[in-house]
Structure 1
Amino acid sequence: MKVHPLLLFLLSLLPLTTFSQQGACVKVQWSENYGGFYNESANSLLQTTDGGFLAIGYSRSDNMMLTQNNGKSDFWIVKTDSLGNLEWQVSLGGSEDDIASDAVQTPDGGYLVVGGAVSFDADVSGNHGGEDVWVVRLNASGTLQWAKTFGGSANERAEAIEPTADGNYLLVGYSQSSDGDVGSNHGDFDYWLLKISGNGTLLWEKNYGGSNSDFGFDVKQTTDGGFLLAGSTISNNGDVSDNNGFYDYWVVKTDAEGNLLWEKNYGGTLEERAYSLCTTPDGGAIIAGTSNSTDADIQGNIGSYDFWLNRIDENGNLLWSSNFGSPGEDRAFSVAPLSNGRFLVAGFTVSDGGQVSNHFGSQDAWIVQLDIDGNFIWEKNLGGTKQDRFFSIVQQSNGGYAAAGHSFSDNYDLPGNFGDRDLWIVALSTDSADIDLGPDTTLCANDALVLQTGIDSASFLWSDGSTLPFLLVSTNGSYWVEINQEGCLIRDTIKVEYLFETPVGLGTDTTLCQGDSLLLAPDIAGADYQWQDGSSDSIFWVKIPGRYWVRVVKDGCEQRDSIEVDFVSIPPPFPPAAFLCQGEQLLLDASQPQASYLWHDGSVAPQYTINGPGLYWVRTTIGGCRSTDTVMVDFQPGPDSIFTSDYICEGQGIWFDASFPGASYLWNNGSTLPRLKAVTPGPYSVEVTVNGCLFKEATLLRACEECLYIPNIFSPNGDGINDVFRTFPACDLTDYHQRIFDRWGNIVFESFSPNQHWDGNFNGQKANPGTYIYFIEYLLHNNQQPLPQMQTGTVTIIW
């Protein structure tokens, strides 16, 4: 399927400006023009099973090669042999414009031709209104078998036909109707997909698009039984999403019943038109057309409109896009796969420069060959000094190429001209020069590769700008060479990948914290490993200090690397448990050079003193490494309050009790019993041993009389020295009662507190000097029951 000039009116006419041409790597086997005095053009070309060619397009003439014209433009089908000799031609149509777009050869050797018909008479019947899709069935000799129209009351046209795996046919084009054979319309022109049987029966139809114009130009069946459609859209709603601005390439993927699976837009803010696609072995596609944008999906623009080629995967993801052309206008209309995995793209160019190396004049037909990655291989201009275009290109069964379109020229590659525009077919030889840098390759690090073309009589241009016959490669990259052999420009590309271009990296020598581990993982897919310990896993865990190395082998290439790993060791400062006797202290020392500390209670000193039971911990930090150690301290308490009395009264016995579970005893009198009875004043002591802990306690037991000190003389003369008589208690006394008598038995002083004193006066007069008798009674509290005590004596007054 290729584009025809009248269609360009629907899409906004392509400008006709000046073209250029370049040197050729293929030779013209033959070039033939066909037509009459007026306008003829081929929109599609196919090689027939007999080795000849069928050109499909339109004609406005009825003379020279043409025997009739039904009015305005007719379908024109031209059959030639393998050398371009005309075997037959047929004009079909009515009184209006009828233009053929594409054709396929049927299994019986006949043909199905599709396009658009505005006519409603002569060969065209059943027109629904406006322009209809018109399908014509010819036998192998070009005789009309039947013709059918499909459409609605507005305008429809078929641009491509594709045979399906089930023996039927798929047509793609566009529709403006929502009646007749057209089930619905999203607005203005929609993609229109029709499936028909071999006898022209409509099996189903689908339309896709948005509220603006959507033009479908090509369709191919995919390996999953579905279909891939390509064209252009200006819509941004309905089935269309993510329009980049003005017209975009629009690719639609359907299932075998035409149900929409996904759709994708490709382009920039200006104009992109897709006219042709071919599938790739991976289930994706190459899409060809034209672009004048410089943003979004377009990597760059050479000038005005460029050939724009996209490659997508089976899900529509854009793998690459490439621009080809000159500073002027360049438009691509057809892409064809080649048996060597490359692709040919055909269209026209109006100037030289860029990738266009020559120019005949006005518009030249232009062919570009590229590889599967979009790399430029060679290019060729064909034509004369006037306007010449290709709309379709195919590979011949002999390996050469054939292209068709139209020509106004009668010089250079054109043998003549019948008048105005002629239908034009060119057959080209296989590449007259070919180069092969070899398959993409993988080398070992530090290896070198010499790239050579094997061609001597040529000039060379390498990707680095050098012009020698060879190129020395030593780094990863994509390398190309372009040779010029007698005006033939051809290019080849090779990708060179170096194994271990980035060396095996175990990392720099490092220090880890005790208890940490380090994963060594060179992560080179498909490699074999040997570690210092003889293991062969792809990874190695480091858990102890030392030097580690690995030998990595892949595809015969070897790399080695090593790393020194040290560990910060913080030894535990404590035993796991400790034992402490009551009254003892334990010093916990966590001291380490250049360390910081945090204890359980928040203190930060390197040492900590404990004197009781419990769980104690410290966190030691050295250079970012932390270690926490704990100690459980068990505690042995001793007996409490063994000696409960400090005084002993006459006739009294006091029991001292040192009893403690599991203990042994030794008193100062040699007794080993837990209890001891004291009956006299004096020193007492005991040693109590429990779980290895020795507890000692001692006391001095005094006589009760020593509990209260009573002076025996005082001199109340007012000199401030010993002026009063008072008692001095040394223990706990209550119920104190003191009385002092003269020699006649008179009470001269009485008090109820040891703190009260006698100043030597009696009845307001100084008492006579001499001796007085005192009686003092009290209760003695000596950690036992209170004991009543009475002390008597004399005190002397000296004046």
Structure 2
Amino acid sequence: MAPAPASPTPSSARMGGSVRRAVRGARSAQIAGQVREVVGARGYRHRARVVVVGVALSIVLGACSAPSVTSVSIDGGDRSVVVDDSLTLTATVVTSGGASAAVTWESSDEAVAGIDDAGSVAILTAGTTDVTATSTVDPSMRDTVTLTVDPLGVLMWTRQFGTSSNDQAFGVATDAEGNVYAAGYTFGALEGAGAGNADAFVRSYDREGSLRWTRQFGTSADDEAFGVATDAEGNVYAAGYTRGALEGPNAGGEDVFIRSYDRDGSLRWTRQFGTSSGDFATGMATDASGNVYVTGYTLGALEGPNAGSEDAFIRSYDRDGSLRWTRQFGTSSEDVATGVATDASGNVYVTGYTYGALHAANSGFVDVFVRSYDSAGGLRWTRQFGTGSGDVANGVATDASGNVFIAGGTFGDLDGTSAGSEDAFVRSYDSEGGLRWTRQFGTSSGDVANGVATDASGNVYAAGSTGGALDGAEFGTFDAFVRSYDNEGSLRWTRQFGTSSGDVANDVAIDANRGVHATGYTFGALEGANAGAGDAFIRKYGR
């Protein structure tokens, strides 16, 4: 009798990282392979295909690669920021073999800026620091960028322009490309020949301060621009008054005009309107839909009867110059609108001053008001405030949250004690008219804020004039200033500038990179020589 077959006895050998298992007595047949995971000598995991052929079971491990990092690069490279910026750095890490892409962060000068494990940078003071990202797998793989921290309110450039006659700028705006536009009037010839007495102008510079174009326009009578705005398409709108006929006949005395140019200075359209009694534009704005808003005051009846003396008004056109609506409002006393702004929801805010009672009782003399309409002209709310000593508003702005900021002057105590004579102020409401805060500031010599603007971070900027020293020494009889607060009303910085001859900032605008542009006029030489009498200027600061 033949002996029974012996039980299969496994045997194994390890050669060069491969494992072979022979099973004696197995039949010569190929069995479908399966995928298995094998842990190698260093704990690396590999996948293998198992095939049984004949009497041998072979497990052949594929080639393995150790985890490694090929490169580390910090996204964005070297950059410049300012002290209160928020910044998070990211690094691109190229790996193989399943290596971790984690990095550690380090700042060479933590007094300038520190950085945490997530790449969040704490910007502390002006200076320069090198920030390095280092691979946690291979410390030889790293990248370094230089972070330059500029102080707040750094002067970028000044442009002064004019003729041998008088030239003044009253409004300033910026577009999405960082171009800046100033509007005002000239008694000379900024572009070509003057049309008559005072002519209106719009002048544009690029972000670096290079002149792009100038448009001067008018009639044989007086024409003056006091407001300028841009829309999302780069169109430019200027508003003011004319004693002549820019479009059609004059209604009588002074008429309001709005004039639109494209981004390259080509005329799009002009609208002129008024009553027989006199009408003036003081400010303008656009909304996200391209609608245009002009505000000012009328001695007549633009919409319904005049309430008495001067009434405030706001009038809206679409981007192509078609009239949308007009709202006229006032008391039996004098009511003047001085500024207009819109928010992201299309709400409109008008500010100015009243000698009557638009909302509750008058404080005793001239009070500030702010009035809100929806995009269709429906009244939302009105707020009136004052001290009894005389208070006026000259500008209004909104932020991305719909908060409202009013700037002007007071002869009383809106917030604390008056510094003496007239003080400047900034006052903030939420979008529903709830008071947020008030900041009053000045010197013993008289101070007023003429314009206000906000940036994308919610910081607030007021521009005006001072007879004293808001920031260090004074330069002349009256100087221009720009003053910045954060969104909660904490002071960020003040810049006072001027000549010995007198200087006034009338408006301020912020560009997409938070460049701060102030415009106004000087009787001296802020840049180069004075052309004669008053010259207009635009001055740009970093945020």
Q: Find out whether 1:417 has 2:530 as its counterpart.
A: yes
Q: Distance in 1 between matches of 2:276 and 2:328?
A: 16
Counting only pairs closer than 5 Å after superposition, residues 634-673 of structure 1 correspond to structure 2 as none
Partner of 2:203: 78
Task: State how far apart, in whole Å, the 2-side matches of 1:225 and 1:396 are.
Answer: 20
Aligned with residue 381 of structure 2, among 241, 262, 283: 262
Which of the residues 349, 362, 386 maps onto 2:466? 349
* Aligned-pair CA distance for 1:145: 3.3
The one-letter amino acid of 2:534's match is R
Name the residue aligned to 1:30: 157
What SS is found at the alignment partner of 1:386? coil
Residue of structure 1 in register with 2:337 after alignment: 216
Counterpart in the other structure of 1:340: 457
Q: Deviations over 1:221-241 (max 9, x none)?
A: 3455432211111112xx443
Q: What is the aligned counterpart of 1:250 among 365, 369, 384?
A: 369
Separation of aligned partners in 2, 1:139 and 1:342: 29
Aligned position for 1:186 = 307
Q: Which moved more, 1:44-53 or 1:146-155?
A: 44-53
- Structure 2 match to 1:400: 515
Distance 2:519 2:286 in 1: 21
For residue 175 of structure 2, what is the aligned residue in structure 1? 48
Instruction: Say whether the 8 Å CA contact 1:31–1:415 is kept in structure 2.
Output: no
Q: C-alpha separation between the residues in 1 aligned to 2:269 and 2:410?
A: 39
Partner of 1:509: none
Residues 735-770 of structure 1, C-alpha deviations (whole Å, 9 max, x = no match)? xxxxxxxxxxxxxxxxxxxxxxxxxxxxxxxxxxxx
Q: Name the amino acid aligned to 1:321.
A: T
Q: 1:307 aligns with which of 424, 432, 442?
A: 424
Q: Is the 8 A contact 1:333 1:392 kept in 2?
A: yes
Structure 2 matches for 1:708-719, cutoff 5 A? Answer: none
Which of residues 242, 255, 276 is equivalent to 1:153? Answer: 276
8 Å contact kept, 1:230–1:277: yes
Task: Confirm or deny: 8 A CA contact 2:449 2:464 kept in the other structure.
Answer: yes
Match of residue 326, structure 2, among 189, 205, 227: 205
- Could you tell me which of 166, 190, 194 is aligned with 1:39? 166
Q: Which has the larger Rg?
A: 1
Per-residue CA deviations over 1:376-415 (Å, capped at 9, x if unaligned) read 22211112111111111122333332211111112xx432
TM-score, scaled to structure 2:
0.69
Looking at structure 2, the residues matched to 48 and 315 of structure 1 have their Cα atoms a distance apart, in angstroms, of 28
- 1:371 is matched with which residue? 486
Where 1:263 maps in the other structure, the secondary structure is strand
Alignment of 1:100 with 2:225, yes or no, is yes
CA deviations on 1:304-330 (whole Å, 9 max, x unpaired) are: 111111112333232322111111111
Q: Is the 8 A contact 1:347 1:391 kept in 2?
A: yes
Distance in 2 separating the partners of 1:281 and 1:29: 26
Q: Which runs of 5+ in 2 are unaligned?
A: 1-150
- Does structure 1 conserve the Cα–Cα contact (< 8 Å) formed by 2:175 and 2:511? no
In the alignment, the residues of structure 2 paired with residue 401 and residue 252 of structure 1 have an alpha-carbon distance, to the nearest angstrom, of: 27
Whether the 8 Å contact between 1:158 and 1:173 is mirrored in structure 2 is yes
Instruction: Give the match's secondary structure for 1:31.
Output: strand
Once the two structures are superposed, what CA deviation does each residue of 1:141-190 show, in whole Å capped at 9, x if it has no partner? Answer: 32333322111111112222222344322222111112xx4333111111
Q: Do the aligned partners of 2:400 and 2:458 also contact (CA within 8 Å) in 1?
A: no
Matched residue of 1:217: which SS? Answer: strand
**What is the CA–CA distance in structure 2 between the aligned matches of 1:281 and 1:340, rounded to whole Å?**
8
Which structure ranks higher in relative contact order (CA pairs < 8 Å, sequence separation ≥ 6)? 2
Cα 1:159–1:153 shift into 2, 3 Å = same
CA distance in 2, matches of 1:367, 1:108: 28
- Structure 2 Cα separation of the partners of residues 390 and 188 of structure 1: 29
Cα distance change of structure 1 residues 272 and 402 upon mapping to structure 2, 3 Å threshold: same
Aligned counterparts, 1:473-484, within 5 A: none
CA contact (8 A) 1:160 1:171 kept: yes
In structure 2, the CA distance between the partners of 1:220 and 1:39, relative to structure 1 (3 Å rule), is same
Report Cα offsets for 1:529-586 as digits up to 9, x if no partner: xxxxxxxxxxxxxxxxxxxxxxxxxxxxxxxxxxxxxxxxxxxxxxxxxxxxxxxxxx
Distance 2:527 2:496 in 1: 12
Q: Distance in 2 between matches of 1:165 and 1:106?
A: 7
**Which residue does the alignment assign to 1:59?**
186
CA 1:429–1:246: 2 relative to 1, 3 Å: same
Question: For residue 148 of structure 1, what is the amino acid of its counterpart?
Answer: R
| TM-score, reference length from structure 1 | 0.47
Q: Which runs of 5+ in 1 are unaligned?
A: 1-23, 431-799
**What letter matches 1:383 in structure 2?**
G
SS at match of 2:407: strand
* TM superposition shift of 1:83: 2.6
AA aligned opposite 2:313: W
Candidates 259, 270, 275, aligned match of 2:394: 275
Question: Which residues of 2 match residues 516-527 of structure 1 at below 5 A?
Answer: none
Question: What CA distance in whole angstroms lies between the structure 1 residues aligned with 2:210 and 2:156?
Answer: 13
Query: Would the alpha carbon gap of residues 145 and 399 (structure 1) be closer, same or farther in structure 2, given more than 3 Å must change?
Result: closer
CA distance in structure 1 between the aligned counterparts of 2:460 and 2:289, rounded to whole angstroms: 27
Match of 2:541 in 1: 428
Compute the displacement of 1:344 (Å): 1.2
The alpha-carbon distance between structure 1 residues 395 and 347, as it changes in their structure 2 partners (threshold 3 A), is: same
The AA in structure 2 aligned to 1:132 is D
* 1:68 alignment partner, SS class: coil
- Matches of 2:225 and 2:177, distance apart in 1: 22
Q: Which amino acid aligns with 1:397?
A: A
- The answer to whether the 8 A contact 1:292-1:305 is kept is yes
Displacement of 1:124: 4.5
- Opposite residue 394 of structure 2, the aligned amino acid is Y
**Which residue of 2 is the match for residue 127 of structure 1?**
250
**Residue 58 of structure 1: CA displacement?**
0.8
Cα 1:46/1:280, change in 2 over 3 Å: closer
1: CA distance, partners of 2:345 / 2:210: 40
CA contact (8 A) 1:310 1:322 kept: yes
1:52 CA displacement: 2.4
Contact 2:177 2:512 (C-alpha < 8 Å) held by counterparts: no
What RMSD over aligned residues (CA atoms) do the two structures have, in Å? 2.0
1:141 aligned residue (260, 264, 267): 264
Determine the structure 2 residue equivalent to 1:196.
317
Q: Please state if 1:69 is matched with 2:194.
A: yes
Contact 1:252 1:264 in 2 (8 A): yes
The one-letter amino acid of 2:164's match is F
Which residue does 1:383 correspond to in 2? Answer: 498
CA distance in structure 1 between the partners assigned to 2:322 and 2:527 by the alignment: 42
Matches within 5 A, 1:460-471: none
Per the TM alignment, residue 250 of structure 1 is displaced from its structure 2 partner at its CA by: 0.5
